[in-house]
Chain A
Amino acid sequence: MPQLYKSIKPFLLRFASMPLAIVLLMVLAIASMIGTVLLQNQEQADYLTQFGPVWYWVFRGLGLFDMYHAWWFIGLLGFLMTSLAFCLWHNVPRMLKEMRSRKVKLTDHAWKRMQHTHKLTLPDRDMEAVAGKVEKITGWQWLTYQEKGFTYLRGDRGRYHKWGYILVHSALLIVLIGGWMSVQFGFRGNMAVPEGGMESRISYVKGTGSESLDMPFKVRCNSFEINFFPTGAPKEFRSNLTIIDQGKEVLTSDIIVNEPLYYRGVRIYQASFGDGGSKIGLKLFRLDGSKRVDVVKSEVYKTYTDAESGISMEITDFKPFNVENMAAPGEPKKFQDIGPAVDFVLRGPGLKPVKVRSFMNPFIVNGQNQGSLMMISLTGDNRDFQSFFLGPDLTKPKEWELFHAFSKKSSGIADGGGIEVFKAAVSEVYGDKMPDDFRDVGIRTLQGMQMLPSLPWPFIPLLDDYDQVYYTGLQLARDPGMNVVWSGSALLVMGLCIMLYISHRKVWLVIEARERGMRIRVAGLANRNLMAFDSEFNDLLRDLEDNLGLSQQGASV
């Protein structure tokens, strides 16, 4: 064993050496940068399209898509831990010894290294009394030593400052150990619980894949709600959860962001939300001239197929509020909620698949009803939605009828028939009771005459009613290393403060008898913060002069 120790000792010493630590810190810093530039834990398919097959496999082989858990990064951290451990092992005994040893005697050689020196002479020759008076100066830890007619005094301040180094380095080690414990014995994953539903399984990303884990209890989401600021920005996400452990309801509580729930070592966080399968009612306004309106029931995440035309609608999302800035560019912002909308992908024979956002309410801005609204994205990307004003306000059955009456009356007439034909159509639909917003109805109907025939679909799908169900996205985490990390962190800050703000300041007094009176030589040395030590040394000299009664006589040399 000693043989082995001897042969590895040079390596161990190298571990403890400073340059290695600096290189290690810089390498870690540079390596960490990679993961901030390259987005971590994305879909593998996205990486493949982004980098092409060659680089994809190179990066994947290096673990760069989850680099903070890659073997080489963990290895670097392990290396740092080893280096820290050996640094402590190598330096702590020496430091403890240094802190204990306080040489009182000052050699002439040491005198030359002093940052501050000063000489005083005293008329009387009572060394003991002088030493006694010096020791009364507060704020310094004094030691006295006598040899060959000399009296030496040593004062220390901040003698334990080396604890700063020890604390900082061991604290970092503790933090890293805590981090390792978190990874090794903890978990962190997500679950989505629809309102009224129950879930006990979490899933999380590991490497390039996804894994899942069963919790020892079930989480039921009783309700989820979002509160909004008047600006339309979300103010609060709140889930009401019940924990069910072995068939019994043990705990019911609200959670919001920043206020997680704690149960059996597991923290449950409000992380996200989404549609949990809202019930959706759609109205299909047939465009075959039959005035037929079919009512269709479906759910978010389901696909409804219209048997008549073979067109399918895959419902992807539902939102009860859609707050938009209604101001023209350059004007002060003006937010308005334009009501519930459902998103679906519309596919059909001979049709290009498009994404449709269909609103329940007509679009009303500044009190003017501009008819039913629909948004269409040709790419399927939400950013590419374009507004289409259909014309008639289809929530009013009469306007649907008016559209048909007008198109029937005006068909075959070259210029569409003009105002007379329109008036006839209106009186056919409304009778004597004209609508109040007659002008707007007219504008909407004319818009409909242009818009509706140009639609490639045999019907207009509009949102009719809904019964909203959210899912709440929860994050569940257990972290047995967390308290270790906190204690390490506390030590780290303490250690840093000791290390940086407490300097070891040493002063020596050498008192020697002269023919008449005695001479006192004062010397001071500080390991850092020399500027502050300047004034501290001057303070000490002043205290000395006061205590020894020198200030009146002005006897300092």
Chain B
Amino acid sequence: MTAIALSGFFGTIQQGRVTHIRFWTYIGFFAGAAALAFFGDSGYDEDGFLIRFLSMQGVIWGGAGALLGLGLSFATGKSGQRSPSFIENSVPWLDGLLLMMLLMAAFTLLEPHEALISYEDQSNLISGRIVMAMNLLFLFSAVCYIMYLFAPESFIGKMATMAAWGGVYAGGTSLFLRWYESYLFLNGDIGHAPVSNLYEVFILLFCVTSSIYLTFERRYQAKAMGAFVMVLVSAGVFFGIWLDSIGQADIKPLVPALQSYWMKIHVPLNFVGYGSFAVACAAGMAWLFRERLERRGSASMLKIFPSLDQLDQLAYKAIAVGFPAFTLATILGAAWAAEAWGGYWSWDPKETWALIVWLFYGAYLHVRISHGWSGKTLAVWAVAGFLVTLFCFVGVNMYLSGLHSYGRLA
């Protein structure tokens, strides 16, 4: 399981010169966006920011930044030289975001007529249909990945991967689209980023989990693990459908405490953590599954499974991605709390559970790094860790009260 070099078309555009140019163009675009926030006509107007990128003003500022970045890339890069791995690793993610934005922009053209949309009846919005497509794609992908375990045909494996990627793009696009749609009624008064309720962050969680897993799959050829990740995602999909059925999928106005730029930073970053912990959990489950297979000696399935050692490392890798992200998200959450609630730490149930999750994975890293533990205990630990995470994410919202109560089911 060496980290494989990409070949073919995707290989070419994700390495070397082209990557270098793209990277700096993106950086330029973000700089332009930041400049718009600081020096633009009406500055940073909270949640209307995405909308402004679709306006002429956004095109001018972002475009100017991107052009500057493009110029910079020609000035700094020498052709033929390999880019640092940081750039090569981050560009595909930025590409994906750009593609989602473009898809979003395309779908805005398909939005139904104004008269068919109202705050009271949001069922005609097109993002709902894209979420449905995402649900189907993820479920189909899960079925394919499970089939792949029993019939390791490369065709089935490819379908599973494609469906999962399709789900990620459908989910991401629908979220961006929801952001846009939240401005379509009540004079755009309630528009906000789509990370404000359980339904929206569930979609985010599916996308983050799947894309982290798919990156692992591509790099380490761990396709057999997909069945476990996608089963987790599918369980979430059913929860999401249930949320929709009880009317939790509606776009609702933000309570004053959430009206802050921090929301757009704190929440997505937290879900990078949760998503990676989900992948670690799947790796742990795959470890336990493989161990059982080994004891039974079913050779055919063992052939396609990553080895125990590799699964162990994948779980660690996922936690190594999630833990710093989760730490940073919690710290930034504390910074937000210091601005909104009068103190960076209030021992609110959500905060306390975040601490518990942090301590749990902190202990995992301790025993692994300093004690060199591995194997079954850590596989179980990764699975248990995700259960704790799940309680922190959903359980606290549903069963405990506190300052984070806007995550509750209304």
Footprint of B on A, CB under 8 Å?
A: 18, 21-22, 25-26, 28-29, 32-33, 35-37, 39-40, 68, 179, 182, 188, 229-231, 233-237, 256-260, 267, 269, 271, 332-334, 475-477, 479, 482, 485-486, 489, 492-493, 496-497, 499-501, 528-532, 534-535, 538
Contact = CB atoms under 8 A, between A and B. Distances in A.
B324 A531 contact: no
B108 interface: no
Contact of A234 (B1, B256, B340, B365): B256
Interface string B198-226: 00000000000000000000001000000
B352 A233 contact: no
Name the 10 nearest CB pairs between A and B, nearest first.
A475-B342, A36-B349, A257-B256, A29-B359, A332-B120, A229-B253, A489-B331, A500-B320, A68-B347, A496-B324
Contacts of B323: 496, 500
Contacts of A39: 401
A257 B320 CA distance: 35
A539 to B, nearest CB: 9
Contacts of B262: 258
Given A36-B400, A492-B327, 10 more contacts: A22-B363, A32-B355, A229-B190, A233-B253, A257-B257, A476-B342, A485-B334, A493-B324, A500-B365, A528-B369
A234 B342 contact: no
B189 A229 contact: yes
A337 to B, nearest CB: 15
Contacts of B402: 36
20 contacts: A25-B359, A25-B362, A32-B352, A36-B353, A230-B189, A231-B190, A231-B253, A257-B256, A258-B339, A258-B340, A259-B339, A260-B342, A477-B343, A493-B327, A493-B328, A499-B369, A500-B320, A501-B320, A528-B369, A531-B3
Contacts, number: 139
Interface of B: 1-3, 5, 119-121, 186-187, 189-190, 220, 252-253, 255-257, 259-260, 262, 313, 317, 320, 323-324, 327-328, 331, 334-335, 338-345, 347, 349, 352-353, 355-356, 359-360, 362-363, 365-367, 369-371, 396, 400-402
Contacts of B347: 35, 40, 68
A431 B370 CA distance: 97
Contacts of B328: 493
Contacts of A36: 349, 352-353, 396, 400, 402
A230 B252 contact: no
Contacts of B338: 479, 482
A182 B324 CA distance: 25
A22 B366 contact: yes
Contacts of A29: 355-356, 359-360, 363
A497 B396 contact: no
Given A25-B362, A332-B120, A535 B3 contact: yes
A11 B317 CA distance: 35
A9 to B, nearest CB: 21
Contact of A229 (B186, B339, B353): B186
Contacts of A496: 323-324, 327
A10 to B, nearest CB: 20
Nearest to B363: A25
Contact of B359 (A28, A479, A532): A28
Greatest chain A CB density within 10 A among B313, B320, B400 is at: B320
Contacts of A229: 186, 189-190, 253
Nearest to A229: B253
Contacts of B366: 18, 21-22, 25
A477 B340 CA distance: 12
B253 A269 contact: no
Nearest to B220: A531
A270 to B, nearest CB: 8
Contacts of A538: 2
A482 B331 CA distance: 12
Contacts of A493: 324, 327-328, 331
Greatest chain B CB density within 10 A among A22, A28, A229, A258 is at: A258
Contact of A497 (B186, B324, B334): B324
B256 A236 contact: yes
B397 to A, nearest CB: 12
Contact of A482 (B220, B253, B344): B344
A151 to B, nearest CB: 29
A182 B344 CA distance: 10
A228 B256 CA distance: 10
A40 B220 CA distance: 47
A259 B252 CA distance: 22
Contacts of A26: 359-360, 363
A496 B330 CA distance: 14
A229 B186 CA distance: 9
Contacts of B119: 230-231
Contacts of B396: 36
Greatest chain B CB density within 10 A among A269, A334, A476, A534 is at: A269
A492 B370 CA distance: 18
A242 to B, nearest CB: 20
A32 B355 CA distance: 8
Nearest to A231: B253
B363 to A, nearest CB: 4
B315 to A, nearest CB: 13
Contacts of B260: 258
A21 B262 CA distance: 33
Nearest to A490: B331
Contacts of A25: 359-360, 362-363, 366
Nearest to B186: A230
B205 to A, nearest CB: 22
A237 B369 CA distance: 49
B355 A233 contact: no
Nearest to A23: B363
Contacts of B327: 492-493, 496
B352 A479 contact: no
A25 B360 CA distance: 7
Nearest to B119: A231
A33 B357 CA distance: 11
Contacts of A257: 256-257, 259, 340
B122 to A, nearest CB: 10
B400 A37 contact: yes
B35 to A, nearest CB: 23
A496 B362 CA distance: 11
Nearest to B366: A22
B190 A332 contact: no
Contacts of A271: 342
A237 B313 contact: no
B336 to A, nearest CB: 8
